[in-house]
Structure 1
Amino acid sequence: MNFDHCVPRESVHKSADAEVQLTDAARLDDGRFAVAAVWRRDHYLGHHGGPVSDPVLLAETARQAAIHLSHRFFGVPSGQTFVLSHLSVDLLEALPPVGDEHLAVRLDVACRRPAEGARRLRLELNADVWIRHRLRARVRVCWEPMEPRRYALLRGRGAREATALSACPEPSRVRLSPTQVGHLVERDVLVDADPLRANSWWLRLDQEHPVLFDHESDHVPGMALVEAFRQAGRVAAGDGRPGASGVTLLAVEFTAFGELDAPVSITVESVCPDGTIFGFRAHQGGREIAHARVRCGAKAPVRARMGVAC
């Protein structure tokens, strides 16, 4: 596998070369692929300065793998939007930190398409993640490529809902410091505390953010929600270690598009008895747009469902 040159940025739906993580992909047999990636030092999703790499960085690698395999091996033409329904990362052991040299990552992928005769192409990726000759994690992605006309119809309905949502009053917020969520700078903080409700936060989006809004989006990016759930999990677990997330499982289900001009709340819905697994829900105008399970300790199983473009 090649780890020296990145794949074309268009094949992973990125505008900046620096945001491309994949370097190679090869078909092993029917439904099985090898994918190579490289992590660079101090990438935003790596959470600068930490003693380990972060699961959100791996989640982005899996998202890029899903898009690249769709274009290269499943005949999905450029210009199609990808609607993401599930994205999960389950760490088996800590991911090594990215040092002065790039960190090579290999995904052993099993990719499933629907049964013969299915009207729409929906895909599911499951992969073992190998770094430095060790199995470090497992990832899962479920998504649907969508041609522009159908996506426009889907988002047209969302635009009508957005008009009503834009009338929602701006909530009271309390800013969190970057160190509370594992970052170094203010613009990377994606959640504000809710002063009126415990275990509740408001999504904070900077549409000029160079990574989360690397390319234009008409909705809340899926990776912004993944990172926001990670930050909320860190705060809920009381993990105050600078630069460390403590998160070992992120399992996110996307159920609706989030609009950019209306508040999004993130709330703890459940906590397991030992306090290591949190259930979160993200709502906008009373409608759920995503929910997640975040683990900061002992291992537990994961599940899946449908709805936001990546």
Structure 2
Amino acid sequence: MPRETVHKSATAEVLLTDAARLDAGRFAVAAAWHRDHFLDDLGGRAVDPVLLAETARQAAIHLSHRFHGVPQGHHFVLGELAVELDGPLPAPDTAPLTLGLDAQCLRAPQHPRRTKLELDATVRTRHRRLGRARVRWEVLEPHRYALLRKRGTADAGAEPAPKPTRAVPLAPSRVGQQQDRDVLLSADPARADHWWLRLDLDHPVLFDHPSDHIPGMALVAAFRQAALVTTADPARYVRSLITRFTSFGELDLPVSVTAEHVGDAASTGRAVEILLRAEQGGRELASTRVVCALPCADHRLAGATC
């Protein structure tokens, strides 16, 4: 797939391989996950669900350009990005894992004067259903985007909470990574369940191309890392991750990430739900609800305990 159609600079970061229209609003999208990609690393146990979220994001961009007439150079503003899995994703292998998305991609009818689109896809591989992915976004022409960013930068003028000088990056193994540069969180020495976003502006994946704000996928990946630290249970997998974006994040200001258990935090036999928030200067940038569950050998028999 041409890299410009998914807004990537490096060909190696393109996950899509093909797309075709099936009817007015339904599309078939093919993708391939390669081994040792930053977003597929969970210590070798399973593919990271963030990789599925990135696949859906690329599908949304490609379908917008190719089938919905969105010109190159327009900006895509994420509103929601979600994945809901039927079970743990397969473990990475030496060969690429091919998958297909049966996607509905339509303009949102409640916004006739704005270009808002929605993608809802069922994801399968090797005749096995993996789950669903959902994306909501708005397309802005360059002038309107520039006005929006100028206003957003002015709103970010409030004095942010200073980042602690003793904030220590988490160990890669705690967040399911192998390299220090892929760790997106630093611990706050004064508070548990509170971290500071740690960004490498030269990261080859998260900053594959220049950006004037914190990429949405950087926040999604940081949320997944925070969920892994919060549950502290390697047996659990992320069953669902639903992220809603509310504000642009500025690259030069600190971002705090907090976690809060929803419901019974001590649950061991069923799913655990966590609410995560990213804030900058008193503004919420995004929030995520993550459900972490124990794998079940037979979902039909043990569904209620998952």
TM-score, normalised to structure 1, is 0.89
Q: 2:163 aligns with which of 150, 167, 170?
A: 170
Partner of 2:246: 255
Q: 188-197 or 12-21, which moves further after superposition?
A: 188-197
Q: Residue by residue, what CA displacement relative to the aligned partner does 1:189-214 show, whole Å, maximum 9, x if unpaired?
A: 00111111121111100101000000
Post-superposition offset of 1:98: 2.8
For the pair 1:41 / 2:35, whether they are aligned, the reply is yes
**What is residue 147 of structure 1 aligned with on the other side?**
141
Instruction: Write the letter of the residue equivalent to 1:195.
Output: P
* Pairing 1:286–2:282 present: yes
Q: By how many angstroms is 1:271 displaced?
A: 2.3
SS of corresponding position for 1:29: coil
**SS of the residue aligned with 1:30?**
coil
Choose which of 166, 173, 178 in structure 2 pairs with 1:179: 173
Distance 1:240 1:49, change over 3 A: closer
The CA distance in 2 between the partners of 1:117 and 1:294, in whole Å, is 29
Hey, what's the Cα distance between the residues in 1 that align with 2:228 and 2:56? 22
Residue 168 of structure 1 contacts residue 262 of structure 1 at CA under 8 Å; is this kept in 2? no
In the aligned structure 1, how far is the partner of 2:15 from the partner of 2:84? Answer: 19
DSSP 3-state at the match of 1:248: strand
| 1:168 to partner: Cα distance | 4.7
**What is the one-letter code of the residue matched to 1:283?**
E
Give aligned-pair identity as a percent: 58
List aligned pairs for 1:226-241, cutoff 5 A.
Answer: 226-240=220-234
1:193-272 aligned within 5 A: 193-240=187-234, 246-272=237-263
Could you tell me whether the CA contact under 8 Å between 2:88 and 2:238 is conserved in 1? no
TM-aligned CA deviation for residue 169 of structure 1: 2.5
Note if contact 2:123-2:133 (Cα within 8 Å) is conserved in structure 1.
Answer: yes
CA gap of 1:24–1:55, structure 2 versus 1, over 3 A, is same
In 1, Cα distance between equivalents of 2:97 and 2:145: 36
SS in 2 for 1:256: coil
Does residue 115 of the first structure (1) align with residue 106 of the second (2)?
no
| Deviation of 1:113 (Å) | 1.0
Alpha-carbon contact 2:44-2:92 (below 8 Å) kept: no
For the residue of structure 2 that corresponds to 1:11, the secondary structure is: helix
Distance in 1 between residues matched to 2:259 and 2:88, nearest whole Å: 25
Separation in structure 2 between the aligned mates of residue 86 and residue 159 of structure 1, nearest angstrom: 21
Asked if residue 65 in structure 1 is aligned to residue 56 in structure 2, the reply is no
- The CA distance in 2 between the partners of 1:235 and 1:270, in whole Å, is 12
Alignment TM-score, normalising by the size of structure 2: 0.90
Indicate the SS of the match to 1:261: coil
Distance 2:20 2:50 in 1: 24
Q: How far, CA to CA, are the matches of 1:175 and 1:168 in structure 2?
A: 18
The letter for the 1-side match of 2:78 is L
Tell me how far apart the structure 2 counterparts of residues 255 and 160 of structure 1 sit (CA, whole Å). Answer: 16
Instruction: Tell which deviates more after alignment, 41-50 or 278-287.
Output: 41-50
CA distance in structure 1 between the partners assigned to 2:9 and 2:116 by the alignment: 25
Measure the CA separation in 2 of the matches of 1:186 and 1:91: 28
Unpaired segments ≥5 residues, structure 2: 296-306
Aligned Cα root-mean-square deviation (Å): 1.8
Deviations 1:122-181 (A, max 9, x none): 01110000011111110000001110000000001122234545x653324132100000
Counterpart CA distance in 2 for 1:276 and 1:170 is: 29
Give yes or no for contact 2:45–2:91 (8 Å, CA) kept in 1: yes
**8 Å contact kept, 2:32–2:98:** yes
Match of 2:88 among 94, 110, 116: 94
Superimposed CA distance per residue, residues 45-81 of structure 1 (whole angstroms, 9 cap, x where no aligned partner): 0016512111001000000000000000000000011
Q: Which amino acid aligns with 2:275?
A: G
- Equivalent AA in structure 2 for residue 55 of structure 1: P
Q: Which has the higher contact order (CA 8 A, sep 6+)?
A: 1
Contact 1:180-1:240 at 8 Å conserved across structures = no
